[in-house]
Structure 1
């Protein structure tokens, strides 16, 4: 089982769950892994549409058969270092959830550090969101290092890591 790595970060009045992963790869390669649909397909999902329009439709690939696509608005894109996205997902009650995702990349001595963050308008959701991002970012590491992302077991993340996030965001 993996050890939880996410932490709470409060920035400009907003609470985020933040996770860091490192790759022995050039920053451009890691950037491609988080922005190119065929590379994303290996570990999380795909997108369709024209990113120059300012938004794409993102489809999770490992969440079961009934997951609909989410609109991802591209708020800021500075290749290969910074990506800011706002997701919009409809709820059953007719309202929408909006989450801001942050990806920051930096390279030093052939090692690229990826810092990922998602805002948490309701910190109680961290017990679900945190383990989910741990799982997907570990899938990314597996895909980018030649390991099999399918070898990762969801139950090693959720609910196994939920207590860590309840304590960090409680």
Structure 2
């Protein structure tokens, strides 16, 4: 199965961009929230974490579905249950600024997953990865089989490269 990429890249400033991916859930935001904040639920689709979470605090995250099972330091920049979680991640590859927004939707809830970027070209590799992980989240919540990363990367790379080029060429916000 070749899943269709859905993420989009927008210019947010002179040298800033957002990669935005959306997903929908049948449950309300409060039911989906633990998928991002409970170590047991997070481990089902992304990775396990340890530490005491709270705004401004740092936890350690181990990515369970990456080669070598790497660890990252994650600072919780903002947390408003069950609608906003902003994470600043540091690992061997650099810094990641991630934002999770949940909102009520007529069918349950909608997720906006936002990766704040300085270089839009990074999305050619991270875009397919986030598509994969968010589809893993859907599968974990529904009990469906987890997707295969090989269905996302490298085949989705050209889609995200085109998104990055369009965003870089756009005038950005007024």
Q: TM-score, normalised by structure 2?
A: 0.88
Matches of 1:108 and 1:127 in 2, distance apart?
30
Structure 1 equivalent of residue 51 of structure 2:
49
Aligned to 1:35: 37
Flag structure 1 segments of 5+ consecutive residues without an equivalent: 92-96
Q: Secondary structure at the match of 1:8?
A: strand
Aligned residue in 1 for 2:151? 156
**CA RMSD of the aligned region, Å?**
1.3
Partner of 1:79: 81
Deviation at 1:109, TM superposition (A): 3.2
Moved more, 11-20 or 30-39: 11-20
- CA distance in 1 between counterparts of 2:86 and 2:161 reads 26
Q: Equivalents in 2 of 1:104, 1:10: separation in Å? A: 19
Distance 2:138 2:129 in 1: 14
Spell out, residue by residue over 1:53-99, the C-alpha distance to the aligned partner (whole angstroms, 9 max, x if none): 611001100002x24310110000000000111111134xxxxx111
Secondary structure of the corresponding residue to residue 124 of structure 2? helix
Superposed displacement of residue 110, structure 1: 4.6
Cα distance in structure 2, aligned partners of 1:159 and 1:90? 22
Counterpart of 1:138? Answer: 135
Aligned pairs for 1:46-125 (under 5 A) are 46-52=48-54, 54-64=57-67, 66-91=68-93, 97-125=94-122
**1:121–1:67 distance in 2 versus 1, CA, 3 Å:** farther
User: 1:147 is paired with a residue of what secondary structure?
Assistant: coil
Count of residues paired in the alignment: 162
> Which residue of 2 is the match for residue 4 of structure 1?
5
SS in 1 for 2:96: strand
Q: Distance in 1 between the 2:137 and 2:59 partners?
A: 20
Q: Secondary structure at the match of 2:70?
A: coil
Give me the TM-score of the superposition, normalised by structure 1: 0.90
